[in-house]
Amino acid sequence: MLPGAAARTMSNIVQDDAIVRPLAIGTRIWNSTSRILHKLADKSLGMMGFIILAILVVVAIFAPLIAPYDPAAQTLSDALQPPSFAHLAGTDEFGRDIFSRFVHGTRITIQTVLSVSVIVGPIGLVIGLSQAFSADAPMLP
């Protein structure tokens, strides 16, 4: 041991190093989110897809606040109106506001995409695994 150096025994080292606190949950979420966004920023197509998906999710969540009219309400006197300030995308043959129907349709789109992903993902996994472990599967170079 060097003269004047503090004696570090194994118990001191264990006590000093044992106090390691994990990062707070908010910090971990922020770090992982920023890491994902930095990776997406490197790929322009990936970032565009992420932005489009984020916009769809936000519109789906806030659809009742964004849509000016009930999407199912029929007003036959307003049938086939062109776009205007009253009806941003016009109306259909039943007088329903097209913009409101589009905004509420994002909810159905998101539900359909999630349902298909949940159903088809495990099916593809089973097919892929059965092919991978089959004796007749072609070997890739």
Q: What is the 3 state secondary structure string of the chain?
A: CCCCCCCCCHHHHHHHHCCCCCCCHHHHHHHHHHHHHHHHHHCHHHHHHHHHHHHHHHHHHCHHHHCCCCCCCCCHHHCCCCCCCCCCCCECCCCCEHHHHHHHHHHHHHHHHHHHHHHHHHHHHHHHHHHHHCCCCCCCC
Asked if residues 95 and 79 have their Cβ atoms less than 8 Å apart, the reply is yes
Q: 98: which 2 tokens?
A: 């097209």
pTM: 0.65
pLDDT given for residue 1 in this prediction = 52
- Tokens 């930095």 identify what position? 38
Q: What is the pLDDT of residue 76?
A: 94
Residue 74 to residue 76: CA distance in whole angstroms: 6
pLDDT of 100 reads 96
Q: Which residues in the chain show pLDDT less than 50?
A: 4
What is the per-residue pLDDT for 30? 93
